[in-house]
Amino acid sequence: MSFLIPRAPARRQLLRAMFGGGAVTLALPFLDCYLNTNGSALAATGAPLPTRFGTWYWGMGHTPDHAIAEKRETSAGIGFLEETESLKPFGSKLSYFGNFMTPLDGKSNFAHFTGWVANRVGTPPGSGSDIPGTTLDLMIADVIGNASRFKTIDATAIGIASENYSARGTNSHGAAETSPISLYARIFGPEFVDPNKADFKPDPKIMLKKSVLSAFTEESQAFTKSLGASDKARLDEYFTAIRQVETQLALQLQKPPPNESCLVPPKVDEHVDNSNAGREMGQVIETHKIMSKLMAMAVACNQTRVFNMVFTDANGNVRRKGEAHTHHILTHEEAIDTKLGYQPLAFWFNKACMDGFATFLQTLDSIKEGDGTLLDNSLIFATSETNYARVHTVDGIPTYLAGRAGGKVKSGLHVIGNGDPITRIGFTVMRLLGVPLEKWGTNSLQTSKMITEILA
């Protein structure tokens, strides 16, 4: 038992002084340690700009021959077709990856599940609910996400908290924020410290809270002694989770450097938040628009450096007003229009997803940061769970990388996988962002080859 008394007399005096109104300077370390090395910097402070990583998800893949024009080999220039035409303005800021394979080594293809799991974990699932490892966003967050208030922030515009494609395993699967109001409250609620506010006064209660949390955590360590190995591991994860809250509390005690890119968004009104109204595409688009803005500002304001944004879920639970079927059902049951060469309604949904992606990129690109934009300083990994939903193919899952990670990557390329495992994309991304990996994935999905064509 070591609550405050023997360990931290200085802290106690400090607190007293704070409550007594005495002038106190808090000399807490600047926690930032993973910064952009290519030299772009915040204008206000001269501090280098960090690299951010985000995933963007849409369900049901692409319409073959109507999304991206085929290519035989990797080269600059992406042939955007009808489905992706709204991405054209970002042609120089993103790359498209086609013809990468997802070999399953005899495992089943669990429809609308295997694709994203294999793609993000490097191992195909053994059942329709199995997540056999940590998703790449969290591996990246473990490296670059420790200096911000949140390690990751996950949100979904479709309103299903559990359809969040970020996990440390089957049983360690966090819920995503489903409403703009709760997303706003989480990021910009009372605990938010505005870096551009002149009068920074740390709330002395925060330090008390931190001390209490530490004391109880320390005492609880003994609890694990009685447990078996697997339960011990579960509690280790629990204690790791506590450390994030401790970090959050610590960050609330220090004045963040001024940040001209950080403009606290207006509070989300209840009447703007229609996330409860249902999963109709129009509502998804509106919710996504608000969430994108909040997420972009969460990143710009250094609240998180890693995030996951879901536009529509892997089960295609999105409707169009007046249609009896969801996007998913349409991909299977709608007849192909022989003139158009595709399923017209399913195509409508696919296109709406790409329009959503364009909105998202536009939101990041509209935030100026250093010499460029927030998008330039980020790397966005955008994928789906299938190539062609009608037949659930997991080979050739369309993947985009947007942004230049602060100059670390080249963009504007159409990269051809030539049948290589799709894990090469994730592996390259993780290596670029500092995850110390020699190889990634299992069996046929294992790779140790970065996609060098995109390295700057």
Partner 1 sequence: MRRKFKDLPLRGVVLATALAVLTACGPKEPASEGGTPDLRRLTEEQYRNTIADVFGPTITYGGRFDPLQRTDGLIALGARTARVTPSGFEQYYALADSISAQVVDEAHRETLVACKPASATAADDACAQAFFGEIGRVLYRRPLTDGEIKTAVTAAHEVGTTTGDFYQGLAYGLAGMMTTPKFLFVVDATEPDPDHQGQVRLTSYAHASRLSFLLWNSAPDDMLLTAAEKGELYSKSGLEKQIERMVASPKVEGGVRAFFTDFLDLRKFETLQKDPVIYPAFNAKTGEDAKEQILRTITDHVATRDLDYRDLFTTRRTFLTPALARIYKVPAGRPDGGWTDYEFPDKDLRGGLLSQIGFLAVNAHPGRSSPTIRGRAIRETLLCQKVPDPPGNVDFSLFNDPDSPNKTARQRLTTHATNPTCAGCHKITDPIGLGLENFDGVGSLRMAENGEAIDPAGDLDGVAFKDPAGLAKAMRKSPAAPTCLVNRLYAYALGRPIETSDKDTVAYFQQVFARDGYRVPQLLRRIAGSDAFFKVRPPKADAATQAATNDSAPKENPS
> Can you say how many angstroms the Cα of residue 384 is from the centroid of all Cα atoms in its chain?
14
Q: How far is the CB of 402 from partner 1 (least distance, A)?
A: 24
Please report, as residue ranges, which positions from 183 to 212 form the binding site for partner 1 (by CB under 8 A).
Answer: 186, 204-205, 208-209, 211-212
As given in the structure block, the two tokens for residue 395 are: 């080979």
Residue with structure tokens 């939101």?
A: 363
Binds partner 1 by CB under 8 A, chosen from 39, 128, 341, 419:
128
SS3 of residue 154 by DSSP: strand
User: Is residue 228 involved in binding partner 1 (CB under 8 A)?
Assistant: yes
CA dist list (Å): 3 to 10, 158, 228, 430: 13, 44, 28, 40
Output 59 or 159, the one with its CB closest to partner 1: 159
Q: Give the residue, chosen from 10, 27, 198, 335, that forms a contact with partner 1 under the rule CB under 8 A.
A: 335
Residues numbered 33-72 forming contacts with partner 1, rule: CB under 8 A: none
Q: Residue 161: which of 237, 53, 240, 275 has the closest Cα?
A: 275
In Å, how far are 104, 108, 161, 186 from 405, measured between CA atoms?
Answer: 31, 35, 28, 26
Q: Which residues in the 381-400 window bind partner 1 by CB under 8 A?
A: 390-394
Binding segment for partner 1 among 33-41, 262-270, 294-302, 327-335 (CB under 8 A)?
327-335
State yes or no: residue 151 binds partner 1 (CB under 8 A).
Answer: yes
Does 278 engage in binding with partner 1 (CB under 8 A)? Answer: yes
How far, in Å, CA of 437 to CA of 447, rounded? 10
CB of 339 to partner 1, least distance (A): 12
Nearest by Cα to 315 from 176, 123, 112, 96: 112
Residue 97 pairs in a beta bridge with 399, 415
Q: Which one, 104 or 375, has the nearer CB to partner 1? A: 104
31 binds partner 1 (CB under 8 A): no
- Distance of CA 419 to CAs 362, 383, 440, 443, Å? 32, 17, 17, 15
Distance in angstroms (rounded) separating the CA atoms of residues 179 and 157? 8
Site for partner 1 in 421-440 (CB under 8 A): none
Of 6, 21, 106, 226, which lies in the binding site for partner 1, with binding defined by CB under 8 A?
226
**At closest approach, how far in Å is the CB of 282 from partner 1?**
12
The least CB distance from residue 320 to partner 1, in Å, is 9
- How far apart are CB 14 and partner 1 at their closest, in Å? 10
* Residue type (1 letter), 194: D
- Which of these, 87, 151, 161, 155, lies nearest to 291 by C-alpha position? 155
Can residue 442 be called a binding residue for partner 1 (CB under 8 A)?
Answer: no
Q: In degrees rounded to 5, what are phi and psi of residue 224?
A: -70, -20
Per CB under 8 A, the list member of 40, 51, 84, 114 interacting with partner 1 is 114
299 to 318: interface string for partner 1, x by CB under 8 A:
------------------x-
DSSP H helical ranges for 253-343: 281-300, 327-333
Alpha carbon distance 274, 117 (integer Å): 30
Check binding of 148 to partner 1 (CB under 8 A): no
Is 173 a residue that touches partner 1 (CB under 8 A)?
Answer: yes
Judged by CB under 8 A, does residue 147 bind partner 1? no
What's the min distance (Å) between Cβ of 42 and partner 1?
A: 26
Among 67-75, 238-246, 353-361, 433-441, the segment contacting partner 1 (CB under 8 A): 238-246
Cβ atoms 51, 378 nearer than 8 A: yes
Tokens of 198: 């002149």
* 63-71, 156-164, 356-364, 434-442 -> range binding partner 1 (CB under 8 A): 156-164
Q: To 5 degrees, how large is the angle CA 438–CA 439–CA 442?
A: 155
Contact region for partner 1 (CB under 8 A) — 75-83, 215-223, 289-297, 424-432?
A: 215-223
SS3 54: strand
Q: What SS3 class is residue 308?
A: strand
Q: How many other CB atoms are there within 10 angstroms of residue 316's CB atom?
A: 29
- For residue 323, state whether it binds partner 1 (rule: CB under 8 A): yes
Can you read off the two tokens belonging to residue 142? 């473990």
Q: How far is the CB of 411 from partner 1 (least distance, A)?
A: 30
7 touching partner 1, by CB under 8 A: no
Looking at beta carbons only, is 81 or 206 nearer to partner 1? 206
Shortest distance (Å) from residue 268 CB to partner 1: 15
Which is nearer to partner 1, 259 or 308 (by Cβ)?
A: 308
Query: 7 or 431, CB closer to partner 1?
Result: 7
Site size for partner 1 (CB under 8 A)? 89
Q: Is 105 in the site for partner 1 (CB under 8 A)?
A: no
Count CB neighbours of 322 within 10 A: 6
